[in-house]
Amino acid sequence: MVRGFIDCHCHLSANEFTQDIDDVLLRAKKAGVNALVAVTEGASEFEKVIQLSKTYPGFVFPCFGIHPLQGSGQDLHSVKLQIGLDFTPWFAKTTQELDEQTKVFIKQLEISKELDLPVNVHSRSAAKVTIATMKELGIRQALLHNFAGKPSVAMEGVRAGFCFSFPPAVSKNEQRAKLIRQIPVEHICLETDSPALGMDKHVRNEPGNIKICCDYIAKVKGLSSDVVMEVTTQNALRLFSKLKT
């Protein structure tokens, strides 16, 4: 049995971790985390994540991309992985804004194909478009993090071979439980999305809270936490093959 967790989506370069990142990562190791996929929201974070990966080799793995709400105009030539679409009405208010997000999304998908790398995708109020776009471009290796789309849309992703991950906060959301019940455990990964989306929105979330996700998914699916830990870790290793190195 594989022992230990993989946090497939966390923001270690966030300002909330600036003062005590070493302590945060030590607590994560003590909690059984074997690897963390550190995502970025913009090019300004790339160097910070690279330095973390050098300080913690084999534990922190960079995941470069530009968040849809960070806008266009950023240099995409060094982006390796991407973060997706956000069509939430109060963010994307015009057709032009939606089109611009989609262009940046497609550009990053094309880069991922060129580099033969998986994608780590943010999708909010845009699940159907996100999955359809990835399928059109022939994306095979993808994680849809904190997915909140309809179960029918999720199953389109499952049929395309995509994986889905859920942070601790979903344990308070019955609608998300219905979604988790339908997605096969072979298509589920674990994430914290820290420092956000913990159990209490007023308290900083950390990678060390990953077991909350595992235990909740186990409860919803009627499985043991050990089985969920093992299967989700294998899923993550299959999806992010560079973690094996």
Q: Which domain holds residue 238?
A: 5-244
Q: Please answer whether residues 2 and 234 qualify as being in contact, where contact means their C-beta atoms are separated by less than 8 angstroms.
A: yes
Question: Which of 131, 115, 125, 8 lies closest to 105 in space, CA to CA?
Answer: 131
CA atoms of 76 and 195, how far apart (whole Å) = 25
pLDDT in tens, 13-45: 999 999 999 999 999 999 999 999 999 988 889
Q: Please answer whether residues 154 and 147 qualify as being in contact, where contact means their C-beta atoms are separated by less than 8 angstroms.
A: yes
Whether the predicted model's global pTM rises above the 0.85 cut: yes
Residue 110 pLDDT exceeds 60: yes
pLDDT in tens, 67-89: 766 554 444 444 444 466 655 54
- Number of folded domains that form the chain: 1
Identify whether 89 is preceded by a cis peptide bond (ω within 30 of 0): no
Site of tokens 């942070």: 167
Question: To the nearest whole number, what is the mean pLDDT of the chain?
Answer: 89
Q: Which two tokens stand for residue 31?
A: 């909690």
Q: Please answer whether residues 111 and 79 qualify as being in contact, where contact means their C-beta atoms are separated by less than 8 angstroms.
A: yes
CA atoms of 98 and 194, how far apart (whole Å) = 27
CA atoms of 211 and 18, how far apart (whole Å) = 23
User: What is the pLDDT at residue 66?
Assistant: 80
Element spanning 10, H or E:
strand 5-10
User: What is the pLDDT at residue 74?
Assistant: 47
Q: Please, how many CA atoms are within 13 Å of residue 120, restricted to the half-sphere of its CB? A: 30
CA atoms of 58 and 69, how far apart (whole Å) = 30
Other Cβ atoms within 10 Å of 201 Cβ, number: 10
First to last CA, the chain: 19
Other Cβ atoms within 10 Å of 167 Cβ, number: 27
Q: Three-class SS of residue 86?
A: strand
Residue 199 neighbours by CB under 8 Å, 6+ apart: 168, 169, 171, 172, 205, 209, 212
Q: Which residues pair with 61 in a beta bridge?
A: 37
Element spanning 102, H or E:
helix 95-115
The CATH number of residue 102's host domain is 3.20.20.140
The mean pLDDT of 103-122, rounded to a whole number, is 91
